[in-house]
Amino acid sequence: MWQDIRYAGWVAALCTALGLALTGSGITGEPRFGTPKGDEGTRIFKATEHPFYSGAFRLTGNRATLVGNMQDQSPWDHLDYAGKRLTPVQGTIEIKVNEVTNSGLVVAEFAEGADQYRIVFDRFAAKAPFQDGGIATRLYEHGDSNNGDPLYPKTWLYLAGWGTATMHKNDQVLYKDYDAHFMVMERSRDPQTHAVHYPVTRTLPGGETDPAGMEIDLWVRSKEQNPQNFPPFDTFVHIYWEEVTWR
């Protein structure tokens, strides 16, 4: 009994001392850490709202797949929702960009048969407000997002860029100053069937892509149209990488 009383008194004294020490250090009962203010707990922050945001992104992509192939004759389908005409190729993509200054360099290289291809994407510019000057981060695109075209599923973009690229074949210019777009995005293809689950009837507010995976997609396309093709461009090179490394 006596020991219990002494123990209780010791605990009370310790709590009092600790309270005085915290008060003396400027820490009071008012929460200072980890407490959302207003709607902070429910909304997605813009990158620039983070106080230490550098805007510098360094990523590498491996396990490349070409949608269709470089020898396809029109009409062709270079989105291939069914995943039946995918060509695994040896190749990588290196992304070194600054989202704040809308500058940097994206270089993709891959081989198909005896031919070597290289895409240099280094001119970034926006054609729509959501593209944020040419390079953007933390946003939805495609599907019913009202950002970009609806030809691909609505997906969360960790990083994306829009602008102009030049593509080389065996060190010769193949396509010069073509429109280009890269996306560091949620996984779009079923890991077993390789199909894109799109279009589908929307039942939830998120995108149709899989948040459990990540990929990098790169598109290079001509301004010239061809309604026989899908998407309806005369040229549309589409390649993606299933292994993404942040550096």
pLDDT tens-digit map of 103-114: 999 999 999 999
- pLDDT computed for residue 143 by the predictor: 94
pLDDT at 65: 98
Give the model's pLDDT for residue 5.
44
pLDDT at residue 57, as a whole number: 98
**Domain definitions of the chain by residue range:** 1-31, 47-246
User: What pTM was estimated for this model as a whole?
Assistant: 0.85
Per-residue pLDDT at 162 exceeds 70: yes
Q: How confident is the model at residue 55 (pLDDT cuts 50, 70, 90)?
A: very high
Q: Tell me, what's the pLDDT at 28? A: 52
Strands 115-124 and 86-98: unpaired
DSSP the chain: -HHHHHHHHHHHHHHHHHHHHHHHTT--SS--SS---TTTTTSPPPGGGSTT---EEEEEEEEEEEES-TT--SS-BSS-TT--SEEEEEEEEEEEEETTTTEEEEEEEEEETTEEEEEEEEEE--SSGGGGGGEE-SEEESTTSSSS-SSS--EEEEEEEEEEEEEEETTEEEEEEEEEEEEEEEE-B-TTT--B--S----SSS-SSEEEEEEEEEEEE-SSB-TTSBSSBS-EEEEEEEEEEE-
